[in-house]
Structure 1
Amino acid sequence: MLFRRVRARCMKRILRTPLRVIEFRNLTLSALQCSLLATRPHPLHVTFQDCEFEGCGWAFVEALEKRTSSFGSLTFKGHIDLASDELERLFQVNCIEHLNLPCLDYNGKVSILPLAAPVDHLKYDLYADPDIMEGIFQSLNIVAKKLDVVIRNSGLDFPTEYAGLPDCVLQEMISAVMANCSLNVLDLSTKYNKDLQWDSHIGALFKSVADHTGLKSVKVNVYNEAFGPDFYHLRELLSHNRQIVVTDENGNLYSDGYLIDRLYFLNRLYQGSTDLLVDPSSERSSLVAIALLQSAMYDFPCTGLLLSHHTDVLCELFQCAPLSDIIESVSPSDSLWVNDQKRRRRL
């Protein structure tokens, strides 16, 4: 029996699966089945593998266009039996969260449209003909917050000999990074392509991303010499942006053993201090006081950083003559130091 002859009642039962994960393989779906699938009230995770749609999928796309709640995840594997017009409409609907596409059997505009689809996560295998795509890419507005795109080129004259990473590639990548304010991790570790060498571009890269407000981590595989004399480029980055860490592909921090470690310590203190300001707790005064008398003691940069963020706490401490609450929370040696400071203040 052909699957498209399955009646609506049976189709609804199939779509009530508790896991809401459905995969159709080598089936032909009727217009009614497509409409039922696209109008389920709850989000689904749907995969079509080499499936066919009656009417080239117009019923499925039309139902998605009218949908106001999230459809969920939509994945195509193998051949996509949708006409180019229906594909264009599909890539404009606003209800798909995760869209997963194979390489499309279309050239030019249609194959580029998925990159502009209003989805949260796009995974796409793209064939790009340079002669066709050059003008299209310049006007492209990429909407997805998370991109997983493989770009393929079948040109016979594509260079295969080793060559350094061109400056133009670096500049385009930097433009994309700075345009994505939500980017947290920039992974250039070239895990699957060891031929990409970033060493000569580290200085320019760090200088360009230093002002990124969302970036937390840069992963890159380079030699220590790439950071310049005395790790100059890395020191400049960490001093300018206290939110960023730089690691290799395995998550190991790059460091010279002292100055860089010192910057990371200061930056961790900075992050913890600013977190207290964003979400202040009832124990903020005690936490700041303990930090001043322990990790930041005898350390002018750390003390200055804490006091610049928590001046009000300093005022509270001066107004509080007995510091017994603070002294009880520190070590005996620190307590002696505090008592000595109290005696000096009375004198």
Structure 2
Amino acid sequence: MSWYNNISTLLKRIPEEILSPQQKFFRPIKSSFPLPVYQFVREPISLDEVVWKSYYNTALCPFTIWRDNETIICIAGVFLNNQERKVWLTLEWDNKFVCQCTIFGKTDAAIADTIAFLCSLPYSGESKLIFESFLNDDTNQPPHHFRLTALQPEHLARILDANPKRQFEIASGVWSPEQSVVLATRSFPVNLHFTNSHNVSGAPTLADGGTAFVEALEKRRSSFGFLYLTWGILSVAFSHDNLKRLFQVGVFEKLRIETGREKELVLLPFSAQANELFYTCIAEDIELEDFNSVKILARAIRLNFYFRHWKGWNKVLAAFFDRVAESGHIEILSFAVVCLNDSIEDNVDEDMPLVVDALINAIIANPSLNYLNLNGCCDAVNWTPHLQRIFRALEEHPGIRTIYLNPWSVDDDNDDGASNYNYGDSDVESDDYSDGEFYRVRHVDLSWVEHLISRNRYITVLNPSGNRITNGTTLDKLYEVNHIYQGSEQLTKVSNTELRVFYVATALTERVSHNFQYIGLTLSMNTDTLCELVDNITSSDLK
């Protein structure tokens, strides 16, 4: 049986000989081969029952579905040769199944109806919808340009409400104030991305400069969720005044912003009211004195600083860390430094002490900091000679739990998923070649890591892959001791005396019974419970 004949029990193929002229006209042609046309035996009620995701590699065998409203859905392909009105959609399931669709139709209203039908089919797992139309939406456009205003607010609400957890990505088109209000007023947290299309020219635009969208957010009383504005979107979708208002709306769980050449906007996101801020910017556009007015409100900060040249980069980064220190409430700190004109000859080692001093001050000033990521900086930024100083600042830190480090040279992975890292008696820097590409390899003394986790028993040091950094011997033993320590401390927090006695007895007889050090550690932190346990045994014997 051919693939087309086995495509789905929901679909049946329309024989070539009975296709109408309109059906033949709408269906695209690939490699001189007219695509087969199907129609629904019955319309599906969810994406879970649709077999398309099983054929996510349908680029080799696309097909079309004809609907009674005289639209045709081309599954698996963005087709440009048909000059009728069209909209491009991409549906993704479970982060691995991808289905590109092109919807053709004679009228905008019919296309909008089919968009609402297809995109409002619920799905039980994770999914993403990318919506692509044409940027311009006026009456002077050619007749094959779909006018986005045909997608009514009730259509958009239906699409969003059907899959509350779906990532909804707007890649182009002019969005009306009425549509903007729908985006901003769902009763649940949404995951909304404004991105640039790969298939059509122009970025998505809010027709009123974002006024309706921001006003609706200002009236919102629950979390909006996640808003992502990619490169070039800020000054296109929003007016400057509305951007200021947007960043002061305190309804975002996550806010991800990428700025390009909008120099006048570069500082605004730093003060955004969001629990988590992910910000990418051209950092050399920042005036250092302007940083004095920045008040960081987010608790989680993930920043990518891009520089065209290295001049003054350390002063910008140090000024940022000063703002982090001033905030005092940061829980997650992750940052990367990238020079767009970086080369292997670049050496910024002399610039590092200023950055390291400011980072250490920021660490100390934020006692709730539990996550620190030093991974992601380009090769010229060498943390290795300064790690010992940074580790000292972390030894007695009350909050830190996870540190990501890079670059170190990596040996083969261990069976347990951890990674061995080359090390010696001191840090060493050397040059190496890999696949004809020149890069710098740094070796670090893992005794620094060993000393750190022996002083602060809550810290785990990870490599860029998320695996524990270890030497395969002493570090592994230390991590195990720390695990027992953490568990023993948790036992001290159990308020119910009987439960605590039970848990301690179970730990002593099962979890740590094989190791005297672990037994001693558990008992030393639960002495009162041991006395209670002995009293219970004694009382039982007396009876």
- Matched residue, 2:94: none
Aligned equivalent of 1:83, options 227, 239, 245: 239
**More deviation in 162-171 or 242-251?**
242-251
Specify whether residues 116 and 262 from structure 1 end up closer, same or farther in structure 2 by C-alpha distance, changes over 3 A only. same
Paired with 2:402 and 2:217, the residues of 1 have a C-alpha distance of 37
AA aligned opposite 1:217: T
Paired with 1:227 and 1:320, the residues of 2 have a C-alpha distance of 55
- Matched residue, 1:98: 254
Displacement after TM superposition at 1:247 (Å): 4.2
AA aligned opposite 2:299: K
Paired with 2:258 and 2:490, the residues of 1 have a C-alpha distance of 43
Paired with 1:320 and 1:213, the residues of 2 have a C-alpha distance of 36
Specify whether residues 289 and 316 from structure 1 end up closer, same or farther in structure 2 by C-alpha distance, changes over 3 A only. farther
Specify whether residues 143 and 304 from structure 1 end up closer, same or farther in structure 2 by C-alpha distance, changes over 3 A only. same
Alpha-carbon contact 2:385-2:427 (below 8 Å) kept: no
- Matched residue, 1:59: 212
Paired with 1:263 and 1:278, the residues of 2 have a C-alpha distance of 23
Alpha-carbon contact 1:227-1:233 (below 8 Å) kept: no
Paired with 1:122 and 1:246, the residues of 2 have a C-alpha distance of 23
- Matched residue, 1:253: 469
Paired with 1:288 and 1:25, the residues of 2 have a C-alpha distance of 55
Paired with 2:534 and 2:162, the residues of 1 have a C-alpha distance of 65
Paired with 1:119 and 1:244, the residues of 2 have a C-alpha distance of 27
* Aligned pairs (5 A) from 1:144-159: 144-155=298-309
Displacement after TM superposition at 1:230 (Å): 9.1
* Residue 241 (1) aligns with residue 456 (2): yes
* Residue 39 (1) aligns with residue 185 (2): yes
Aligned equivalent of 1:163, options 334, 340, 348: 348
Paired with 2:258 and 2:471, the residues of 1 have a C-alpha distance of 41
* Residue 16 (1) aligns with residue 161 (2): yes
Displacement after TM superposition at 1:71 (Å): 1.6
- Matched residue, 1:140: 294
- Matched residue, 2:396: 211
**More deviation in 76-85 or 270-279?**
76-85
Paired with 1:197 and 1:118, the residues of 2 have a C-alpha distance of 32
**More deviation in 285-294 or 70-79?**
285-294
- Matched residue, 1:2: 147
Displacement after TM superposition at 1:46 (Å): 1.9
Displacement after TM superposition at 1:99 (Å): 1.8
Q: What TM-score comes out, normalization by structure 1 length?
A: 0.77
Paired with 1:262 and 1:21, the residues of 2 have a C-alpha distance of 42
Specify whether residues 308 and 24 from structure 1 end up closer, same or farther in structure 2 by C-alpha distance, changes over 3 A only. same
Which segments of 5 or more consecutive residues in structure 2 lack a partner in the other structure? 1-145, 196-202, 313-338, 409-422, 429-443
- Matched residue, 1:202: 387
Alpha-carbon contact 1:118-1:144 (below 8 Å) kept: yes
- Matched residue, 1:188: 374
Q: Percent identity?
A: 29
Paired with 2:480 and 2:374, the residues of 1 have a C-alpha distance of 25
Q: Deviations over 1:269-327 (max 9, x none)?
A: 21110121224635224135427982443x4xx555333321123213443557999xx
* Residue 294 (1) aligns with residue 513 (2): yes
Alpha-carbon contact 1:292-1:303 (below 8 Å) kept: no
* Between structures 1 and 2, the one with greater strand share: 2
- Matched residue, 2:278: 123
Specify whether residues 48 and 166 from structure 1 end up closer, same or farther in structure 2 by C-alpha distance, changes over 3 A only. closer
AA aligned opposite 1:167: P
More relative contact order in 1 or in 2 (CA 8 Å, sep 6+)? 1
Paired with 1:166 and 1:157, the residues of 2 have a C-alpha distance of 13
Which segments of 5 or more consecutive residues in structure 1 lack a partner in the other structure? 326-347
Displacement after TM superposition at 1:263 (Å): 3.6
Aligned equivalent of 1:276, options 483, 491, 508: 491
How many residues matched?
Answer: 318
Displacement after TM superposition at 1:207 (Å): 0.8
AA aligned opposite 2:278: K
AA aligned opposite 2:218: E
Displacement after TM superposition at 1:61 (Å): 0.8
**More deviation in 237-246 or 247-256?**
247-256
- Matched residue, 1:338: none
- Matched residue, 1:308: 524
Paired with 1:39 and 1:256, the residues of 2 have a C-alpha distance of 53
Specify whether residues 3 and 224 from structure 1 end up closer, same or farther in structure 2 by C-alpha distance, changes over 3 A only. same
* Between structures 1 and 2, the one with greater helix share: 1
Displacement after TM superposition at 1:126 (Å): 0.8
RMSD: 3.4
AA aligned opposite 2:291: F
Q: What TM-score comes out, normalization by structure 2 length?
A: 0.52
Alpha-carbon contact 2:491-2:504 (below 8 Å) kept: no
Q: Deviations over 1:178-209 (max 9, x none)?
A: 4444443323345x634433332122111111
Alpha-carbon contact 2:363-2:393 (below 8 Å) kept: no
Paired with 1:230 and 1:88, the residues of 2 have a C-alpha distance of 47
- Matched residue, 1:330: none
Specify whether residues 197 and 256 from structure 1 end up closer, same or farther in structure 2 by C-alpha distance, changes over 3 A only. farther
Alpha-carbon contact 2:424-2:445 (below 8 Å) kept: no
Displacement after TM superposition at 1:261 (Å): 4.8
